[in-house]
Amino acid sequence: MKFVLADQRFSKIIYRIAGEKYNRFIHVYMGWKKIVGPLLAERSQPIKVENDILFVGVQNSSWMQELILLKADIIAKYANYGEKLNDIIYITQSPGKRRK
């Protein structure tokens, strides 16, 4: 019997439920923590990908500044992750809007 990690099965289910239209966003969203690290991932989240532009919701302007300084690195890491992004737009979100 071949053992499959629960995380892999969970990912496959999410991709299947989301459908073709949202597969790219799911890929970006699920890789966010690996790309920016746990600290920044707790304070930000991808909102959508549109025309090769990633929109990211950020907790406040301080964390937004940190992410702006890392923008080129984030785009390069996503390129290594298999995603082509031309730009990232950061938007501050109120705490009530944060999805977990």
Q: What is the pLDDT of residues 34-43, one digit of tens each?
A: 999 999 999 9
Q: Which pLDDT score is estimated for 17?
A: 72
Which amino acid does the sequence have at 83?
E
DSSP annotation of 85 reads: -
pLDDT exceeds 70 at position 96: no
What is each CA distance from 49 to 2, 20, 45, in whole angstroms? Answer: 35, 14, 12
Cβ contact 45:97 at 8 Å: no
Any idea which of 2-6, 48-52, 84-88 has the lowest mean pLDDT? 2-6
- At the topology level, CATH places domain 6-97 in Alpha-Beta Plaits (3.30.70)
Please name every residue paired with 88 in a beta bridge, in sequence order, or none if there are none.
Answer: 54
- Tell me what pLDDT residue 26 has: 86
Residue 4 is predicted with a pLDDT of 46
Answer for the pair 95, 63: CB distance below 8 angstroms, yes or no: no
Give residue limits of the domains in the chain.
Answer: 6-97
The answer, as to whether pTM is greater than 0.85, is no
